[in-house]
Structure 1
């Protein structure tokens, strides 16, 4: 068994690591974002009732829970939250100016809102699409359930469209950093219906758009890729120090309740993706993909795997993963796909050990571009849970078998003597 490592190791290792970064724009999901929609549904004596909805419009990047997402903002005036349904502020703040009973739910100048577990409050006090433990599935994986909702009674806020001011400085954590939110922008009021016939209109609506950057989430990659083939026994491992998942100081209880515990490897990556070119048929070829969790302290809930490869226009089947094409450049130019686990079978990638991997075989139909040369059968880009993985150096790709190996001088001489003996024997037999 491989030795375990706390992620705190010698800082000298870090000095020899080259880290990759990722920009916020993702060409495989150019329109992906999380949109926060804030609807004022009615006026109260000193403010309004609001319904806040978070939509995950990303194709393959989700938020796992608990604790899941955390949404915060700064009030424009001295607003307070009198009551909440479907979520809660983690701090009440300073409510000493109020003599009411009960006090406001939160008087914080910058409230931080977290989701609730479905078991934490009675069902009668829940609202539709609330209370998921902070989980926010991606749109592609779960287009029916890619939202989270909570309601607030906001006080000291103004009681008309002219007196209400938009909150500022929105932030979204998942649960760590990674998302950058733009300013609140007024949009046409939302329409609501309960029976599909009669519609009601929100009094006022604004949207906030939050986009993801892997570099903001973590300075180093969290996954790497290795390759192998049936025609060559050499195996390009994950690049050395690909992740270097090493902080500069030892974690303490104050910094983290549960430090990551990894297999000690040369790449120090919590997740390894292995792509094996398994078989070659007349009209098809087959690859096997294995996702390996080397982090003993974590399981990866509702994982996603994105693969970019030029043959996905002719993809036939994934034998034990869910699959959907991404089609970022149109249905006729598909070179990428997203995979995720089958429910109750391999939906959860458990912590490292015996259950620490999931795998599937993938079948492709050959087209005119198919070749084993120049690493064509290997993916061009791999992402796990929406984060870019480090690929092997192309110079390390397995080489093709030599179909006509050159003979050494000795072997060539022996072969010539053998052929000459056969010819002489046949000549004698034919003339007898």
Structure 2
């Protein structure tokens, strides 16, 4: 089953999640075609972080890109064949790599939904910013390009599939036009392809136990491993050169778990009909802020979540009446930016849950989450055998009675 999940990118918490590339042929002139390419992030909680998407494909023939709006090819390539023409093509590469333009691009270079530096929000957090688009004028193509790639770790794209043509609305909705042809390319995510090393871990505590269960040792790596980078808390971080490769190991605070993100779940209070949980997310990465972060939690009592403080919350609700998972994320301009390691490198919330009769209990670790996912990455949980346990009153009582009996015997022997 794991091999199947790794190949096809199935996620039980987001079974329909994917990134869809839509290729719309809008117009065909003498020797050229006008194409609109749209990128939709249909994933509920996994977003595209900087440096953003890099879309590429392979041409079947000798096609070139004459002009672009809303994006650009990273390489122009060898366009010597067109020397002497009034304008050289934008790109003559057989396998062009397309990147989004930056915010603030001149208006004459923009199209709708462009110019976000390749960043796409998750669909549940900000649907309006979960898509991108650009326009191209290309040499006439006989067949669709192939071997599409989105340029993001863990994603695999399928073949272009012809679908019903897209309809475009104009004149305030009074007129509709449609594409001459539309093709979809679906890209799915697999954590097995993305990275072999976890990127976050979970620690636990509860009001009824004095023990704080830390993140498991070496959750994300071990100190001293080749390539590991960490800074001791009593030392200022060195001058850092930010890596250009997004897959480079992060510079983190030295710890026994070596994770850039630690999520702490604290069972804070118990009332007659409710119980209260505090969640703290610590950024231990000394060189990275996390913008538009999100946290997915799987717990059976989320179906009776009454109130959340300081975070937004949306249930995932992917299986009918089952409501045991949801996504937490920050409030815009308040705590939607998780700052790098330091005094401000944490965000926290508290939530109030109703004690559902018949299922609620503090026994056997029931109050702790089943799964925790930060920014789409599964967090390493402590072993259930290490969870904070309820006090065993029997064990506490018996030793005290034994001490009392021994004391009485000693007293009797003295007298």
Is the contact between residue 245 and residue 269 of structure 1 (CA under 8 Å) also seen in structure 2? no
After TM superposition, the structure 1 = structure 2 runs for residues 7-406 of structure 1, keeping only pairs within 5 Å, are 23=6, 24-65=9-50, 67-99=51-83, 100-119=85-104, 121-155=105-139, 157-158=140-141, 164-174=142-152, 177-194=153-170, 195-244=172-221, 248-249=226-227, 256=244, 260-330=250-320, 332-368=321-357, 369-404=359-394, 405-406=396-397
Structure 2 CA distance for aligned equivalents of residues 45 and 245 of structure 1: 61
8 Å CA contact 1:33–1:209 kept in 2: the answer is yes
1:248 and 1:416, CA in 2 relative to 1: closer, same or farther beyond 3 A? closer
Distance 1:126 1:215 in 2: 36
Shift, 1:47, TM fit? 2.4
Deviation at 1:248, TM superposition (A): 3.9
The 3-state SS of whatever aligns with 2:337 is coil
Q: 1:250 to 1:265 in 2, by over 3 A?
A: closer
Residue 413 of structure 2: aligned partner = none
Q: Structure 1 255/64 Cα, relative in aligned 2: closer, same or farther at 3 Å?
A: closer
**CA shift digits 1:212-270 (9 cap, x unpaired):** 11222211110000100001011111111111178745899897478631111111111
**Whole-angstrom distance in 2 between the partners of 1:255 and 1:122:** 29
CA offsets 1:306-330 (integer angstroms, 9 cap, x no match): 0000001101111011100001111
Q: In the alignment, is the contact (CA less than 8 A) between 2:221 and 2:228 conserved in 1?
A: no
Partner-residue secondary structure (3-state), 2:165: coil
Alpha-carbon distance in 2 for matches of 1:294, 1:48: 49
8 Å Cα contact 1:306-1:382 kept in structure 2? yes
Asked whether the 8 Å contact 2:228–2:249 carries over to 1, the reply is: no
CA 1:178–1:46 in 2, change beyond 3 Å: closer, same or farther?
same
| Matches of 1:358 and 1:36, distance apart in 2 | 34
Q: In structure 2, how many angstroms separate the alpha carbons of the residues matched to 1:320 and 1:416?
A: 57
**Across the two proteins, how many residue pairs are aligned to each other?**
386
TM-score (norm 2): 0.88
Q: Is the 8 A contact 1:28 1:326 kept in 2?
A: yes
Describe the SS at the equivalent of 1:262: strand
- 1:173 is displaced (CA, Å) by 2.2
Unmatched 5+ stretches in structure 2: 230-239, 410-415
Alpha-carbon separation, structure 1, partners of 2:86 and 2:298: 58
Change (3 A) 1:357 1:250: closer
**Quick one: distance in 2 between partners of 1:40 and 1:165?**
12
Paired with 1:202 and 1:305, the residues of 2 have a C-alpha distance of: 39
Change (3 A) 1:253 1:78: farther
Q: 1:357-383 deviations in whole A, cap 9, x for unaligned?
A: 100001100102000111100000000
Say whether the 8 Å CA contact 1:118–1:132 is kept in structure 2: yes
Preserved CA contact (<8 Å) 1:293 1:350:
yes
Secondary structure at the counterpart of residue 378 of structure 1: coil
Change (3 A) 1:379 1:28: same
Shift of residue 146, structure 1, vs aligned partner: 1.5
- Name the Cα RMSD after superposition: 2.3
Provide the C-alpha distance between the structure 2 equivalents of 1:42 and 1:26, rounded to a whole number of angstroms.
Answer: 38
After superposition, the C-alpha distances for 1:369-419 in whole angstroms (9 at most, x for unaligned) are 0001111000000000011111001110011012343233454449999xx
The question of whether the paired residues in 2 share the 8 Å contact of 1:34 and 1:209 is answered with yes
Q: How far did 1:97 drift?
A: 0.9
* Structure with the larger RCO, 1 or 2 (CA within 8 Å, 6+ apart): 1
Cα separation, 1, equivalents of 2:133 and 2:344: 34
Compute the displacement of 1:133 (Å). 1.4
